[in-house]
Structure 1
Amino acid sequence: MPIGDLAPELAVLLTAVAVLLLAMVLPQRRHGWCALLAAAGLALSMAFAWAQSDAHRLTFSGTFALDGATTWARFAIPGLTLLCVGLAPRWFATDRRHGEFYAMLLFSTLGAMAMAGAADLMQLVMGVLLSSVTGYVLAAYHRDWAISLEAGMKYFLVGALANALLVIGVVFVMGMAGSTDYRDLAGAIPDNPVALAGLTLVLMGLFFKLGAVPAHTWVPDVAEGAPAPAAAFLTVIPKLAAAVALYRLVALTPETQALPLLVALVAAATMTVGNLCALWQDDVRRLVGWSSISQTGYALMAVAVAGAVPDALPALLAFMSVYGIANLLAFAAIVELRGRTAIADYRGLIRKHPGPAIALTLAFLSFVGIPPLAGFLGKFALFVATLEAGLAWLVVVAVANTILSLFYYLRVIGPAVFSRPEGAMATLGGTARATFWALFALLLATTFLWSPVWSALPRALLP
């Protein structure tokens, strides 16, 4: 059990503890220093991940996988969390628990990293639970605001049920197969109703982290009610980890046709429900929440063909990377506008604040998949992989949903660009503005540098 193999995770853990201790001794006006410490710890974690990027083995008695997908997660999860940290200092400037926010953020990041590298069902459970418990706190962090408390409670209730089902599923699988180790489970899970029910329950727990049907109802409430930096984090980071974890699990059982079919049906239902419910939303944050559900549906297309086509894994990772950047950019624009999210408030936004207006437009068009944006390239990779696996019906559903989604994005973009402005709208500035422009540049860079990004993505998992 070489401790050095978990250097990126340990960097996040020790930084979280240090941030918590620092927040206890600093006066509230100095809690911004906790953000600097958190950012340094996340950067150190990414440096350790770079040093281990060539690793391709199982470690800690086979419970943790060091492979290309884990390396991607070790860059994407801390990297995007670092950007979430940049959104927080001015948002929480008057909050007495400002410093503790970064500790919770880091502990949740650690849970996501543990989930992404899990090569054992018990390790997966620990990662999911750590990510979930800290997520409940982040969702209800504005405890004096009823909407935030409601978001945290809904997240907790759905999560409690989903995580209980996850643990029950692990018990079923272990009882039928005699092991929780992925190496032992690969090709050895009995083809009987109890084992299949166990796998389905495990998938249900991961569907909750992804915000997929039927465990999706927490997403719009958290997107609207959680502090905007926390909402940005919770609608992106756990999804990145759960996507990798779900792919690993489905790839274990290529001979079990019921599992990929179940994922394909959930993918179709998730993208359809997300888009239909987003159509008439009047709050931009809820709209982005429902949109993130639909984006999960597209990502599940790659999971449904896991192991069936060579480009399924890179298509999933590429799509999730672009989705994460675009979703954070949308929330960064909202943070820069000090949390104003009523669609009516966005009328004429491009004349008052062209930066946030252009950023929202760019993020939304990337969600739709308008060429030549990186969102189009990510969706195209998903569609090609799904077609190669023979699931043409799922591609047809996805294309129809893509066209449908354009309607509700235009409900925001249209008034923001073509209507006359009504009243003034203040901006936040500070590190939030710097983060906003960094995400803007990152989304454009991903578009122009798509070819090297695509070439660098892993093609296979550890057996």
Structure 2
Amino acid sequence: MPIGDVLPEISLTLGAVIIVLFATFTRQQQHHWAAVLALLTIALSAGLTLAQWDGQPQLTFSGVWALDGMAISSKLVVLIAGALVVAMSPEWMQTDRRHGEYYALVLFALLGVVMMASASDTMELVLGVLLSSVASYPLAAYHRGWAPALEAGMKYFLIGALTNALLTIGVVVVFGLTGNTGYTEVAQGLAGGSDSLALTIATACIVLGLTFKLAAFPAHAWMPDVAQGSPAPAAAFLTVIPKIGAAVALARFVSLLPPDVAWRAIVAVISVTTMTLGNVAALRQTDVRRLLGWSSVSQSGYALMAIVVMSVSDQALPALVLFLASYAIANLAAFAVITFLRGRTALEDYQGLVKNAPIATVVLILSLLSLVGIPPLVGFFGKLMLFKVTLEGGYAWLAFVAAANTVVSLFYYLRIVASMMFANSRPVVHVLPGQWTRITMAIAGLLILAIGLGAEVLVEYTNAIGFAM
């Protein structure tokens, strides 16, 4: 058991424990220092992860832990996104008596997502999903005195309980078929032939279990409520970060399946249904946070396109990572603006915002256009890679459906832009005092532009990433 291989994860665990102890023995007025501790922890974990970048792809800890390009790159995306969430939180959470514990929950949830992305064993996958879920449920309902937060947390918990049970059932059936839980041994066992009905049931249960963390159909119903009812920084976390780990975990699992299992058709159907449902539902929303929740559902459908053509197109996995990174930055930038505006959600609250909060308006416009995929923003290159690999993989019909959905999404994103730019301005715009959220919002907006302009460098670095098997 080479402990050095999991130093990034150990640092997250120790950081969360230190923050819990710090919050226990200090006054509430000092809890904003817990955010500093969380950022230092994430920076340490990211540095240790970068140190693994040039290493040989391998399976460590008796084959249950992957140290490969996909695990390391997705871990970095998760950590950067987590840092942005932490940085936008102090002013929002400062009046909450449990301010300090909030950051420990964020770190534990990050650890669960990282475990999902790095798991090379079905039991390790279950552990990652459960840790991420258990830490995320209280984040969704953190404002327990507000009815929409309780509703969001309860819906999130109930759907999670059902889908996590299905995931565990699928893992048990796979163990029964192969006698192993390690991915390498499972792949070898399935290649030798197995009960097709049992394998189909196991595959369906595991895929359905992971669609919960992806917020993809049919386990997507919690996402709009969480986006609307959770604390804005927690909503930013839950709409972005868990789906990064879930997408990588799903890609890693389906790569084990033999050719006679029609998993590509299953994932393609889920992809089309998810993106179409998310975009159509977003069209009728007048609440910006709920609209972004449905938008997050649709973005999961786009991400599944790369998984459909995995192993058919050499660039499918790099395209998946690039798209997830571009989506994460854009969506976090949008929620940073919402946090800065004290969580204002009604579309009418954004009328004429450009006159009262020009910087926030610019950042929100950049994030929305990036979510659509307008050049030269980072979202354009993420979607460009997706469409490219989908066409190369022979799924032109799927690319066409995704293009049509992208056009549909333009309508509801531009509705927000038009309200901010051309409607009569409201007399007063309330914003959070302090600099944490303001600086985070500006950094996220700059990242949308900077990474978009330097996307070729990012593509070059992710060009050869893959799975260690």
Structure 1 and Structure 2 fold alike (TM over 0.5): yes
> Which residue number in structure 1 is paired with residue 210 of structure 2?
206
Describe the superposition over 1:163-213 as per-residue Cα deviations: whole angstroms up to 9, x where unpaired: 000000001111112211111122532360111110110111111000000
Describe the superposition over 1:422-456 as per-residue Cα deviations: whole angstroms up to 9, x where unpaired: 22112214211111111111111110100010010
Q: How many Å separate the matches in 1 of 2:440 and 2:90?
A: 11
Task: Give yes or no for the alignment of 1:64 onto 2:65.
Answer: yes
Of residues 419, 424, 431 in structure 2, which corresponds to 1:427? 431
Query: Could you tell me whether the CA contact under 8 Å between 2:177 and 2:195 is conserved in 1?
Result: no
Query: Could you tell me whether the CA contact under 8 Å between 1:187 and 1:253 is conserved in 2?
Result: no
Q: How many Å separate the matches in 1 of 2:468 and 2:270?
A: 26
Describe the superposition over 1:307-357 as per-residue Cα deviations: whole angstroms up to 9, x where unpaired: 111000000000000000000000001011111111011110111111111
> Which residue number in structure 2 is paired with residue 400 of structure 1?
404
Give the aligned residue type for 2:31. Answer: H
Q: How many Å separate the matches in 2 of 1:254 and 1:449?
A: 38
> Which residue number in structure 2 is paired with residue 106 of structure 1?
107
| 1:254, distance to aligned residue in structure 2 (A) | 5.4
> Which residue number in structure 2 is paired with residue 349 of structure 1?
353
Q: How many Å separate the matches in 2 of 1:224 and 1:236?
A: 14
Q: How many Å separate the matches in 2 of 1:277 and 1:61?
A: 45
Give the aligned residue type for 2:47. Answer: A
Query: Could you tell me whether the CA contact under 8 Å between 2:200 and 2:261 is conserved in 1?
Result: no
Describe the superposition over 1:201-260 as per-residue Cα deviations: whole angstroms up to 9, x where unpaired: 011111100000000000000000110010000111101111111111112225145111
Give the aligned residue type for 2:21. Answer: L
Query: Could you tell me whether the CA contact under 8 Å between 2:8 and 2:45 is conserved in 1?
Result: yes
Give the aligned residue type for 1:287. Answer: L
> Which residue number in structure 2 is paired with residue 51 of structure 1?
51
Task: Give yes or no for the alignment of 1:299 onto 2:299.
Answer: no
Q: How many Å separate the matches in 1 of 2:249 and 2:26?
A: 38
Query: Could you tell me whether the CA contact under 8 Å between 2:306 and 2:317 is conserved in 1?
Result: yes
> Which residue number in structure 1 is paired with residue 131 of structure 2?
130
Of residues 325, 330, 333 in structure 1, which corresponds to 2:334? 330
Give the aligned residue type for 2:147. Answer: A
CA distance 1:191–1:448, shift in 2 (3 Å): farther
Q: How many Å separate the matches in 1 of 2:392 and 2:296?
A: 26
CA distance 1:168–1:257, shift in 2 (3 Å): closer
Query: Could you tell me whether the CA contact under 8 Å between 2:271 and 2:305 is conserved in 1?
Result: yes
> Which residue number in structure 2 is paired with residue 78 of structure 1?
79
Q: How many Å separate the matches in 2 of 1:285 and 1:254?
A: 41
Task: Give yes or no for the alignment of 1:194 onto 2:198.
Answer: yes
Task: Give yes or no for the alignment of 1:447 onto 2:418.
Answer: no
Gaps of 5+ in 1: none
CA distance 1:168–1:111, shift in 2 (3 Å): same
TM value normalised by structure 1: 0.98
Q: How many Å separate the matches in 2 of 1:361 and 1:440?
A: 9
Task: Give yes or no for the alignment of 1:313 onto 2:317.
Answer: yes
Of residues 333, 340, 363 in structure 2, which corresponds to 1:359? 363
Q: How many Å separate the matches in 1 of 2:260 and 2:105?
A: 38
CA distance 1:191–1:391, shift in 2 (3 Å): farther
Q: How many Å separate the matches in 2 of 1:72 and 1:331?
A: 23
> Which residue number in structure 2 is paired with residue 378 of structure 1?
382
Moved more, 149-158 or 46-55: 46-55
* Number of equivalent positions: 463
TM value normalised by structure 2: 0.97
Query: Could you tell me whether the CA contact under 8 Å between 1:271 and 1:401 is conserved in 2?
Result: yes
Find the residue that maps to 1:188 and give its secondary structure: helix
Describe the superposition over 1:89-146 as per-residue Cα deviations: whole angstroms up to 9, x where unpaired: 1101110000000010000011011111000000000000000011101000001111
Q: How many Å separate the matches in 1 of 2:258 and 2:295?
A: 30
Q: How many Å separate the matches in 2 of 1:360 and 1:331?
A: 9
Find the residue that maps to 1:252 and give its secondary structure: coil
> Which residue number in structure 1 is paired with residue 221 of structure 2?
217
Task: Give yes or no for the alignment of 1:459 onto 2:465.
Answer: yes
